[in-house]
Structure 1
Amino acid sequence: MGTWRTTSATWTAGPWSLARRGAELADIAYRGRPVMRAIRAVARDQDWNTPEWTVDVLADDDTLSLGLQAGLLSGTLTVRGTAGELLIELDLEAAESFSTNRTGLVALHPPRLAGTALRATHPDGTVEDTAFPAAVSPHQPVFDIAALAWEHDGLAVEAVFAGEVFEMEDQRNWTDASYKTYSRPLALPFPYDLAPGERVRQSVTLRAKELRPAAPLAADTRIVLSPGGAFPETALGAATGPDPEPVPAPLGTAVLVELDLWTPNWPAALERAASAGLPLDVRVIARPGADLDLLAAHLVPHWIARVGLFDPDTHVTASLDGLRAALDRAGLRPPLVAGSRAHFTELNRNPAAALPDADALTFSATPLFHDPSTEQLLESVAVQRTVALQAAASGRPVYIGPVTLRPRFNNVAATASLASPRTDLAAGYGPEFTGAADRRQTDDPLAAWTIASAAALAVPGVAGLAWFEEWGTRGIRSAAGDPYPVAAVLETLAAMSPGELLWGDSPDGLVWALGSRTGPRTRLAAANLDREPRAFTVAFGPEELRLTLGPLGWAAID
C-alpha cells in the first residue's frame, strides 16, 4: 500500500498547522480547523504540463523554507506563522527563457465551502459579495481578486493575494476536490515568456479568527440506501495497447471503443473491440467532412449499443445530423449520444453539446488530470457524486466513462497528438500514444476506490459506467490477460447491473456503499477509503448491516 501513501511532514507555528507533501502545503488549519485544502507553487508549460519540483528543506523551525527547482526555474517557498496570520511567499527565477501558461501560487479551497458566502476585494479596493458556487460553475465565479473572506466552522478567514492579479475557477469540473484561486488571469494571452533572470514573486497571507466553537463531529456513521431506478450497466473501455491481445472472458454489458477517423488503424481497433462478443458503445472522433458512410459500413456487421460523435479539437458534439444520416443509409438506427469525450468541464461549459436530438448524454472522468497525488484520487470520489447529480438533472440517460486514473489524451495541449501510422494494432492506438498509465492501476486499493467511485457515480439517471480498459497498462488485466485486483470489483458490479439500484450518500466522503435488488435478492458492495479501519452501518429498506472494513478495503455482500 506504499504507493497509496504520500510522504508528509507536519509543520506548526502557534495556532497554525499544515502537512508538507513535497512542495505542497496541504491541510492548512487554524487551531485544528481546516482553512485551506492546499497552497502550492506551480509551473505549467505551454501544454499545461506540470513538472515536479525537486525540493530541499532549507529551514524547518519557526520558519519553513523550501528550495525549489524544476527545469529552468528555481527559488524558494517560505512559510511564517504568527498568532493570527500565516504568510506564504514564493520567489522563483528563470535561468533561461521559459514559455509558460501559468507560474506562481495557487490556493485550493475545500469543496465543503459550497454555497458559503464569500466577500471578494478587488485590486481597486471595491468589494463584491458572492458565494462559493453550490452547483459546479462552468466558468470562473470570481475575477480580479486581491483578497477573499468567508466564514466556516466557527472561523472567520481572510486570504490576501499579492504579486499578481488572481481569479478563481471551480475545479470540481474535473472532479478535483477544490475551488482554485490562481494567478495570471486567463483573459491575458498565454503562453507567455519568462525572460532569463526574470523573477516571479507572489504571496498569500491567511488570517483567521475564532468566532464560536467548532461543530461537534457526528458520533455514528450510517449510509441509507434508497431505490434509484435501474442499476447502471457496467462496461469496459476497449484495450488500446499493442497486439497480441489476450483472450479473457467477456466482462460487463458492453465495450466502449473510441475510433479516431483520422488514424489509419481505426478499423482494426473496431474489430478488436468486437472480438469480446459484447455490444459496442462506439465513440467517433471526426472532423466535418469525414467519411461517415465508411464508418457506418464498418459498423454494420457488429452489435452496436450506441454511437457518439465528437470534434477532435473541442472534444464535444457539434451535430449528429451527418452521423444519423450515414447510419440510416446503412440501415442502422442505434441510440445516439452527445456531450464530451473529455471531462464534465467541457459539457458544463458547452451546453449546446447536449443536443436536444441526442438519446443520451456522456462525459468521462479522470481524477488525476491536475494532480497525481493519492490524496486527490481519494478526495475526488465525493466530487464525482456532485457532477453525476448535476449531469443527471438533464432528465436524459447519462453514460459516464471511460473512468480512468490518468488522462487518455491532453485535451488542452497546444501541440498535435501522436498516433500510430500503421493500419494494424502492432503498436496500439489512441491512449497508447496520447495517454498515461498509473502505477496504482495494479494495486489492491484500486479495488476499494472503484467501488467507492461506482457508489458516487451511480445516481438515478446514470444509465452506464465504463471503466479503465479491458487489458494492458491502463486495464483491469495485464497484457497477458492476468487479472489485477480491480477485476474482481468489475465482476461484482457487472453481476449487480441487471437489478434495481440502491444508492445513498456517504456521511464523510470516505465510506461508501451501493446495492442492487433483483426480486427478493439484494447485493451490496461497500468500500472504505480511509487509511484507518472503519465501522459503519448500511441501511436498505427495513434491513441494516453493520460492516467493519480495513484501510482502503472493500466487501461484496450477497
Structure 2
Amino acid sequence: MATARASRAIKLFGTEVPDGKKRILTAGPIDAMLDNGALRYIRYRGVEVLRGIAFLVRDKNWGTYGPMIEGLKVKQGRDSFSVSYTATCKDKTQGIRYEARIEANASGVVKFSATGTPLSDFLTNRTGFVVLHPLVGIVGEPVEILHTDGKQRRSRFPKFISPGQPVFEIRSLKHTVMPGVTATVLMEGNKFEMEDHRNWMDASYKTYVCSLLDPWPYTLKKGESFDQSITVTLDGKPAGKVARQGGGTVDVSLGGAAGKLPAIGVGIAMGEAKAALAKVALIAAASPAHLVCQIDGRNGGQAAAAATFAKLKARTGKPVTLEVILPAKAEARKEMAEIAAEVRSGGLDPDAVVVTQMHDLKSFQPNTPRPWGPTYEEMAAAARKEFPRAVLGGGMLSYFTELNRKPAPRGTFDFVTHTICPIVHAADDISVMETLESLPSIFTSTRNMMGKTPYHLGPSGIPCRDNPYGAAVASNPNNGRVCLADMDPRQRGLFAAAWNLGLVAAASRGALDAVTLGAATGLQGVIYRKARHAQPWFDANDAAVFPAFHVLAGLAPASGARLMRAESSSPSSVAALALKSKRGPVLWLANLTGKIQSVRIKGFSGAGDSHRLDEGSFVMAARTPDFLSRPGMRLKKVTQTELAPYAVVRIAAA
C-alpha cells in the first residue's frame, strides 16, 4: 500500500543508512573533526591547515574498506585531546586490524600513529596513512620538502593539475598556513609520495604511503605487524589579525554579464535505451539540449540500440551525440566501418560522434606502456569517414585523470570531452560535496591543454559510470555510501540535486560549452523506474522523478542563456548560478551542507517568484515532473533567504 510519508534520511540521501557521527575536538588554537576514526579539517585559529589525515586500507581494485571501529576512547581536555581505537577491515577472503592513537596539544602538535597487523595474507594496492593538503591558500604556493635520503628542496604545489606524482620519496612537507605560521607534516614508517588529488575531483593534494612506482597490488603477510605515524607541528605566531574561514551568513552578490549557460544535456547508456524510450515523455518534458547515447563495439545489439536511439531522437526532437567505443582489436577504420554499418541499419543519424577505444577506458600511470590500440588521429580519421556530417569529439569517456595523462592533440577533434565522478576515493557526504571545489582546477587545466577547442563534459553524476582503476565497479547491495559503486542512493535524494546544481554553476564559471548530467534512467538516472536494487519510498509510491530531475528540467531549456555574475562568499556552503531573462535575474541557489544556511542576496532588484526543492516539497516534487512550472511563492523583495539542508531554490524575477 502506498504511503505519502518519506523519512528525512530518504528525502536527503535516498537511504536510511547513516553516514556516521562526527565530533569536533580542540587543543588550544587547534581544532579538528573526528570522523569514523579519521581527522579532517585540522585548523589553526580557524584557518585550515590540513584537509585530513586518515589510515586507509585499499583492495586490489582500489576500493576502500570501511573500518569496523571498536573500543573507541575520546578524551577532551582543557588544552588537549586524545583518541584511541581498534579497527578491523575485512571481506570474505582477507582481513587486517590496526591500533590507532591520536594526540594533540595546545603547543601546536598533532600526532596520529597506527600499528597494523594482517589477520591473513592481505592483498592490497595501498594500506596506511594519507595526508590531504587543502586547495584554498595552497594551490601554486611554496612547499619545503624533506626527502627520505635527507635532502631538502623548495618547490610549489602545482597550479595546473599534475598528471603524475609531483613529489616522490617524502619524509616531511612544510608550508605557510598564514603570515608568521608554518606547518610541518612529518611522515614515518615508510616512504611517502604525493599525487595531485584534483585529478579525481578530490579537493586536495594527497600524500600517501608507499609508491605507485613499486609493484601493486602487494601482499602484507599474516601476523607481520608494522608501524606508521604522522606528526603535524605548527610553528610561529600570526603576524596580524587572523581572518577565520567560513561561518555566519553567506552573501550572494549578483553583477554584470558572465558568458553563457552551457548546453545542458542528459546521458542514455546503451543498456538503458529501451527503459529511456519507455520514459520518453518525461525526457522530452525536461527538454535537454542533447542526448548523449553510447554504442559499445565490444557488445552485441548495436543496431537495436541505434534504432531505439533514433526513436528517442525523433520523439524528443533533440540532437544525439553518439559515443562509440572501438574494441581495439583491429585497425580503427575497419572497426569504425563495422559499427557505423550497425548504426545506419538502425536508422540513426547522429549529430555528433565521440570516438574512443577500449584501452582508454582504463587508467595508466604516466610514461608506462599501454596495450596496442588506435591513436587519436586514426580514430578521428575513421570517424570522419563514416560520419562526415557529424561534429566530432574525442578525449576520454573516463575521467579527467585519463585525459590529463593522454591529452588529445590540438586540432584533431571539433570538441574535447571527459567525465567526472565524485566517489573515486571517498564516498561520505562531506567528501562528495567537497569535490565541487576541485572543478575550477579541472576546467582550467583542461583549457590549458586544449586551448580554444570547445569543451564538453560527458555524462557525469554521483554514481560511478565505469571504473578505470579496477576490473569492475563496486557493488552496493545495501544502499550504502560506497566508493566506485555504480549505484549511489543519494542520486535519489535532495543531495544529488544540490550537487548537480553545484556542478552546473562551476561549469558555467569555467565557460564550458556543454554539460551532460548523468542519465535519464538507470543507476545514474534522474527519472524513476523499477530496478533490481531497492529504492526506498520510491518503490512503494507513485513517484515519477528524483529531485535532480528538476535541476535538469529547470536549466536545460535555458541552454545558451546569458549568465550574470553570481558570487557566493562561501562557495563550499552555497552554490549560486544566475541567468538573465527578459524580466530580470533567475537565481539558483543550492545548500551544499547538512546545516541550515542563511543567505543574504545583493543585486536582485524587484519582486521574485520562488520555488523550493527541499524536505517540505520532496513528495510533491517526486510526483510532479512539472513542479517548477507550478505557481511559486511571491517575494516582494529578494534580499535574503534561508536554505534547508541540501535544498535547491530558484528565484525568478516577477
TM-score, normalization: structure 1?
0.89
> 1:492 and 1:555 mapped to 2: Cα distance?
11
> 1:325 and 1:197 mapped to 2: Cα distance?
56
More helix, by proportion: 2
Match of 2:292 in 1: 256
Which is further off, 487-496 or 529-538?
529-538
Stretches of structure 1 that go unaligned for 5 or more consecutive residues are 419-433
> 2:236 and 2:290 mapped to 1: Cα distance?
54
Give the letter for the 2:326 counterpart.
A
Checking the alignment, whether the CA contact within 8 Å between 2:66 and 2:89 is kept in structure 1 is: yes
Checking the alignment, whether the CA contact within 8 Å between 2:497 and 2:547 is kept in structure 1 is: yes
1:475-554 counterparts in 2 under 5 A?
A: 475-479=525-529, 482-509=544-571, 510-517=573-580, 522-530=585-593, 531-537=595-601, 539=603, 546-551=639-644, 552-554=646-648
- The secondary structure found in structure 2 opposite 1:537 is strand
The Cα shift of 1:489 comes to 0.9
Q: 1:77 aligns with which of 85, 97, 100?
A: 100
> 2:580 and 2:47 mapped to 1: Cα distance?
41
Checking the alignment, whether the CA contact within 8 Å between 1:223 and 1:512 is kept in structure 2 is: no
Deviations 1:429-476 (A, max 9, x none): xxxxx9511111111232222112110112354111001111123200
1:236-315 counterparts in 2 under 5 A?
A: 236-239=266-269, 240-241=271-272, 246-249=278-281, 250=284, 251=286, 252-277=288-313, 278-288=318-328, 289=330, 291-300=335-344, 301-315=347-361
- The secondary structure found in structure 1 opposite 2:303 is helix
Match of 2:627 in 1: none
- 1:140 aligned onto 2:165: yes
Give the letter for the 1:516 counterpart.
L
Superposed CA RMSD = 2.8
The Cα shift of 1:376 comes to 1.2
Checking the alignment, whether the CA contact within 8 Å between 2:163 and 2:404 is kept in structure 1 is: yes
Deviations 1:489-523 (A, max 9, x none): 10111121142233555432222222333666653
Q: 2:43 aligns with which of 21, 29, 32?
A: 29
- The secondary structure found in structure 1 opposite 2:358 is coil
Match of 1:159 in 2: 185
> 1:358 and 1:161 mapped to 2: Cα distance?
44
1:376-415 counterparts in 2 under 5 A?
A: 376-393=431-448, 394-413=451-470, 415=471
- The secondary structure found in structure 2 opposite 1:340 is strand
Checking the alignment, whether the CA contact within 8 Å between 1:223 and 1:513 is kept in structure 2 is: no
Checking the alignment, whether the CA contact within 8 Å between 2:47 and 2:245 is kept in structure 1 is: no
> 1:489 and 1:304 mapped to 2: Cα distance?
26
Match of 2:134 in 1: 110
Match of 2:87 in 1: 68
Q: CA 1:329–1:59 in 2, change beyond 3 Å: closer, same or farther? A: closer
Deviations 1:108-143 (A, max 9, x none): 111111122110111222111012222222222221
Checking the alignment, whether the CA contact within 8 Å between 1:63 and 1:81 is kept in structure 2 is: yes
Give the letter for the 1:298 counterpart.
E
> 1:16 and 1:518 mapped to 2: Cα distance?
47
Checking the alignment, whether the CA contact within 8 Å between 1:229 and 1:460 is kept in structure 2 is: no
- The secondary structure found in structure 2 opposite 1:475 is coil
Stretches of structure 2 that go unaligned for 5 or more consecutive residues are 1-7, 14-18, 76-80, 363-372, 475-483, 531-542, 608-636
Give the letter for the 1:214 counterpart.
V
Checking the alignment, whether the CA contact within 8 Å between 1:471 and 1:478 is kept in structure 2 is: yes
- 1:91 aligned onto 2:115: yes
The Cα shift of 1:93 comes to 0.7
Q: CA 1:463–1:202 in 2, change beyond 3 Å: closer, same or farther? A: same
Checking the alignment, whether the CA contact within 8 Å between 2:302 and 2:343 is kept in structure 1 is: no
Q: 1:183 aligns with which of 206, 209, 231?
A: 209
> 1:177 and 1:235 mapped to 2: Cα distance?
26
> 1:16 and 1:331 mapped to 2: Cα distance?
60
The Cα shift of 1:308 comes to 1.4
The Cα shift of 1:326 comes to 4.6
Give the letter for the 1:9 counterpart.
R
- The secondary structure found in structure 1 opposite 2:505 is helix
The Cα shift of 1:410 comes to 1.1
Match of 2:230 in 1: 204
The Cα shift of 1:91 comes to 1.0
Which is further off, 48-57 or 516-525?
516-525
Give the letter for the 2:298 counterpart.
W
> 2:30 and 2:584 mapped to 1: Cα distance?
52
Q: CA 1:229–1:60 in 2, change beyond 3 Å: closer, same or farther? A: closer
> 2:108 and 2:184 mapped to 1: Cα distance?
10
> 2:222 and 2:437 mapped to 1: Cα distance?
43
Checking the alignment, whether the CA contact within 8 Å between 1:236 and 1:402 is kept in structure 2 is: yes
Match of 1:421 in 2: none
- 1:467 aligned onto 2:511: no
Identity %: 25
> 1:320 and 1:146 mapped to 2: Cα distance?
40
Which is further off, 242-251 or 331-340?
242-251
Match of 1:426 in 2: none
The Cα shift of 1:6 comes to 4.6
Checking the alignment, whether the CA contact within 8 Å between 1:65 and 1:76 is kept in structure 2 is: yes
Q: CA 1:308–1:390 in 2, change beyond 3 Å: closer, same or farther? A: same
> 1:129 and 1:401 mapped to 2: Cα distance?
38
The Cα shift of 1:538 comes to 5.1
Give the letter for the 2:279 counterpart.
V
1:316-327 counterparts in 2 under 5 A?
A: 319-327=375-383
The Cα shift of 1:210 comes to 4.4
The Cα shift of 1:244 comes to 5.1
Deviations 1:46-76 (A, max 9, x none): 2111111111243211531121101110121
Q: CA 1:122–1:464 in 2, change beyond 3 Å: closer, same or farther? A: same
Checking the alignment, whether the CA contact within 8 Å between 1:319 and 1:355 is kept in structure 2 is: no
Checking the alignment, whether the CA contact within 8 Å between 1:362 and 1:400 is kept in structure 2 is: yes
Match of 1:374 in 2: 429
Q: CA 1:324–1:74 in 2, change beyond 3 Å: closer, same or farther? A: closer
Match of 1:16 in 2: 30
Match of 1:40 in 2: 54
TM-score, normalization: structure 2?
0.77
1:415-454 counterparts in 2 under 5 A?
A: 415=471, 436-454=486-504
- The secondary structure found in structure 2 opposite 1:487 is helix
